[in-house]
């Protein structure tokens, strides 16, 4: 009798051989299914979805965390549709603060797990290696896009850099992680990753599921990029960057002090001018474009010959406002005006009498009533508490 192979032998015995099914699922999909099956078993036992909270054991809270993560996976709903008879994936949207925004210590604290103290001399412990949470926070700040309206912010960065060099501002270290959170407000400047960051906008504050305050920020960087980040994500990034610094507000100094200082003038005048230029852009925005200056003498003398001076747009000017001041430090005052209205500085190039291109300074696209308010704030000392928002055309509080 001829030898038969296994298949022929089984066929002769009348045994049908079912083809072996090969899995077409990826390892990731298998893990998702296995994780969801644990949650289903919990639901079958307790008749409800796993929940967060101190009143529940650690396994339930772990399952609750896992369920939230699975709900966010775009492929999970189709993958688990046949298994999800209780409808666990269609529950209400997760809370406003994603668990991704918690660092690992905070996440373990939410789960009630104490983190063991690490022996610094233990050679089995990896040190100076960023955790996944640290990488997520760094990537969120680093995930930037081009700032399309950077021309509005560049003058601000130029002024801040100049004030850092002159000592009018200081780059200060953070006292604590919570202190960094208090300093993250609209109008604040930081150094992070070797770049200057400016908090241009702060969204409405909300309280997270875990009782923490948070808000969405628009952060603009001095390299012309921007990022949309949560306040607490920026806080963690500042905390983890050993070179991160808070840039202090400028020191206005004794603008109107009793004791004279070098550079002070006994009495002076802040003047506001409006150009009579026929340049198309100036003519179109004449009521908005103003030059702000300071003189210790006569304003009329100062502006004589304006038609021949590119500083005055090679045209006559109209004096629309003057403010008499005493014991005035001219350098500090001009620095404050440039800082305050830097985002609205006129970007205009004209040819001087010799045909050379000139870009006049001290001209700003700011309404006259805003300039008047700024001068009043100079007098009462509240000028450092506001910044000029070109979009709203008004002074806005930094806190």
Q: Tell me the pLDDT tens digit for each residue of 363-399.
A: 999 999 999 999 888 877 788 778 888 888 888 875 4
Question: Can you give the pLDDT at residue 371?
Answer: 92
Contacts 24+ apart (CB under 8 A), 79-86: 79/29, 79/32, 79/33, 80/32, 80/33, 80/36, 83/33, 83/36, 83/37, 83/40, 84/36, 86/40, 86/43, 86/49
The answer to whether residue 281 scores a pLDDT higher than 70 is yes
- Distance in angstroms (rounded) separating the CA atoms of residues 313 and 275: 7
Q: What average pLDDT does the chain have?
A: 75
- Please return the burial class of 97, using the count of CB atoms within 10 Å of its CB with bins 0-12, 13-18 and 19+: middle
Average pLDDT over residues 192-196: 88
- Distance in angstroms (rounded) separating the CA atoms of residues 68 and 66: 5
Least confident span in 195-204, 247-256, 347-356, 374-383: 247-256
Question: Can you give the pLDDT at residue 330?
Answer: 66
**In the structure, what pLDDT confidence band is assigned to residue 172 with cuts at 50, 70 and 90?**
confident
* DSSP letter (8 states) at residue 256: B
* DSSP letter (8 states) at residue 345: B
Domains of the chain by residue range: 24-94, 132-247, 264-397
Question: Can you give the pLDDT at residue 110?
Answer: 43
- Distance in angstroms (rounded) separating the CA atoms of residues 182 and 373: 28
> Taking the model in full, what pTM does it have?
0.40
Question: Can you give the pLDDT at residue 166?
Answer: 73
**In the structure, what pLDDT confidence band is assigned to residue 24 with cuts at 50, 70 and 90?**
confident
Residue 85: both structure tokens together? 């008879």
Task: Measure the CA dihedral 6/12/18/19, to 10°.
Answer: 50
Q: Tell me the pLDDT tens digit for each residue of 336-361.
A: 787 788 888 888 888 777 777 878 87
Distance of CA 272 to the CA centre of its chain: 34
Task: Measure the CA dihedral 375/379/381/382, to 10°.
Answer: -40
Least confident span in 150-154, 160-164, 179-183: 179-183
């Amino acid at each position: 009798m001829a030898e038969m192979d296994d298949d022929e032998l089984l066929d002769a015995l009348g045994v049908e051989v079912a083809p072996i099914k090969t899995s077409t699922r990826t390892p990731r999909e298998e893990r998702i299914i296995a994780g969801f099956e644990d949650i289903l078993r919990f639901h079958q036992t307790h008749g409800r979805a796993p929940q967060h909270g101190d009143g529940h054991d650690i396994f339930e809270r772990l399952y609750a965390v896992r369920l939230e993560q699975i709900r966010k996976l775009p492929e999970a709903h189709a993958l688990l549709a046949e298994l999800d008879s209780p409808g666990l994936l269609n529950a209400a949207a997760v809370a406003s603060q994603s668990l991704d925004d918690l660092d690992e210590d905070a996440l373990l604290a939410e789960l009630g797990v104490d983190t063991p103290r690490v022996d610094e001399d233990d050679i089995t412990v990896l040190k100076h290696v960023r955790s996944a949470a640290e990488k997520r926070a760094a990537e969120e700040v680093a995930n930037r896009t081009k700032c399309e309206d950077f021309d509005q912010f560049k003058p601000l960065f130029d002024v801040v850099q100049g004030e850092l060099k002159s000592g009018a501002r200081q780059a200060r270290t953070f006292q604590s992680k919570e202190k960094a959170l208090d300093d993250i407000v609209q109008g604040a400047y930081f150094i992070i990753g070797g770049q200057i960051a400016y908090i241009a906008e702060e969204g409405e504050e909300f309280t997270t599921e875990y009782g923490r305050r948070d808000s969405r920020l628009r952060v603009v960087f001095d390299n012309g990029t921007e990022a949309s980040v949560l306040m607490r994500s920026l806080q963690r990034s500042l905390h983890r960057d050993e070179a991160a610094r808070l840039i202090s507000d400028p020191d206005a100094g004794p603008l109107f002090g009793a004791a004279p200082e070098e550079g002070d003038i006994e009495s002076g005048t802040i003047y506001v001018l409006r150009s009579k230029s026929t340049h198309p852009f100036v003519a179109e925005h004449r009521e908005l474009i103003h030059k702000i200056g300071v003189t210790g003498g006569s304003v009329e003398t100062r502006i004589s010959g304006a038609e021949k001076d590119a500083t005055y747009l090679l045209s006559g000017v109209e004096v629309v406002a003057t403010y008499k001041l005493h014991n005035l430090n001219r350098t500090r005052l001009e620095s404050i005006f440039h800082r305050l209205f830097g985002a609205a500085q006129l970007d205009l190039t004209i040819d001087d009498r010799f045909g050379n291109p000139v870009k006049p300074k001290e001209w700003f696209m700011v309404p006259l009533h805003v300039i008047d308010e700024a001068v009043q704030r100079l007098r009462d000392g509240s000028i450092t508490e506001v910044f000029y928002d070109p979009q709203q055309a008004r002074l806005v509080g930094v806190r």
